[in-house]
Amino acid sequence: KDGMHGLKCSLLGVITVTITIAAVLLYDKVIERSFSLGTAAMDNVIPLLRNTIPPLTSKKHKGQDGRIGIIGGYMSVYYLLIILPVFQGADLSHVFCTKDAAPVIKSYSPELIVHPVLDSPNAVEEIEKWLPRLHSLVVGPGLGREDMLLKNAKEIIERSKLRGIPIIIDADGLWLVAKEPSVIQGYQRGILTPNFMEFTRLYEAMHHEPLDSTDHKRSAQQLAIAMGHLTLVLKGEEDIITDGKNMLTCSQEGSGRRCGGQGDLLSGSLGVFAHWAFSSPPDATKGMNPSLVAAFGATSLTRQCNRQAFHKHSRSTTTSDMIQEISSAFKKLFES
């Protein structure tokens, strides 16, 4: 018995060491593939982004360049709503919100198509009718954490997955994922965009242990793997983008002004880039995960807008000022 016990312990030790070595090698391999927004990124990722951006032409009909759905509400949603149809090049923006939020959102812009159904008894069925028309879905900004709204959002995510729609989850949507990771786990067209606090909550929910904050890249890779290799955008001093296999870092100069709404701008932009990337021919991204390409586009555009707005407005910079920079920032990054 002692001999068998010793053998089992030895085998367990060998297996543990083997797994540890494999994990280290995988991490090193991921880091070797990582780029920062500099010469490497410009040479490797920006051209791929340009391949996915649809050309402007009078031969298209309304909606071909993007019909984006948003599950959210109230002020937070304003920033991502405006960016989609007007500035970045998507054609239509459908907002699915609660009844009391609808009048406020409708007042923002005539381009918005507002559906005040999110808190209705048949919310899921009403929204599902529109899913065949949508090219991507942004879930979370301004959503709130009421059980009924989260339940409806969960069911909408599940039905969107069945249709292969790219799904970007931010803000209160990440609260839902932390409670029920299976709602998006393993969905290769899912993209999470947490800030550090949201990331910590997700990491600890998945790993059941405190986050080691000394190595953000390793932690982001581990969480992406645990989530089934979906794409994760960890926002911070540098934005870390990984699907657990590959990693990009966007450290383009922005500003020290951390005004509210920038995350909404990022997730809204990502909704557009994700549609473009996934609807492009396979050779457009040269084998790179379309989610990574889309996320890099959204982070670099958001940072460029932040930089340009800050140079004009300094400490008084708001996200509304950043929105005004989208056209020139987009042209500078992707069309020059």
User: Residue for token digits 């019909």?
Assistant: 67
97 is in an annotated binding site: no
Strands 231-234, 239-242: parallel, antiparallel or unpaired by DSSP?
Answer: antiparallel
Beta bridge partners of 144: none
**Does the annotation place 262 within a ligand binding site?**
yes
Residue 201 labeled ligand binder: yes
Q: Residue 263, annotated ligand binder?
A: yes
Tell whether residue 256 is among the known ligand binding residues: yes
Q: CA 123 to CA 157: how far, in whole Å?
A: 13
Q: Is 87 annotated as contributing to ligand binding?
A: no
255 a known binding residue? yes
Residue 261 marked ligand-binding: yes
Tell whether residue 324 is among the known ligand binding residues: no
**Termini Cα distance of the chain:** 73
Check the annotation: does 28 bind a ligand.
no
* 57 CB-side CA count, 13 A: 6
Does 258 count as an annotated binding residue? yes
Question: Would the annotation count 142 as a binding residue?
Answer: yes
Give how far Cα 307 sits from Cα of 261, 300, 303, 322, Å: 15, 10, 6, 8
Q: Are 67 and 133 in contact (CB under 8 A)?
A: yes
Q: Are 158 and 188 in contact (CB under 8 A)?
A: no
- The Cα–Cα gap between 321 and 309 comes to 6
Task: Please tell me whether 196 is known to bind a ligand.
Answer: yes
- The answer to whether the annotation marks 69 as part of a ligand binding site is no
Tell whether residue 307 is among the known ligand binding residues: no
Task: Tally the C-alpha atoms within 13 A of residue 163's C-alpha that lie toward its C-beta.
Answer: 18
Is position 6 annotated in a ligand binding site? no
140 is in an annotated binding site: no
Query: Is 200 assigned a ligand-binding role in the annotation?
Result: yes
215 carries a ligand binding annotation? no
Q: Does 13 belong to an annotated binding site?
A: no
Tell whether 136 is in a known binding site.
no
Question: What's at 167, amino acid-wise?
Answer: I
Q: Is 155 annotated as a binding residue?
A: no
Which residues carry a binding-site annotation for (6S)-NADPHX?
142, 195-201, 264
Binding-site residues? 142, 195-201, 235-239, 254-264
Which residues make up each annotated binding site for ATP?
235-239, 254-263
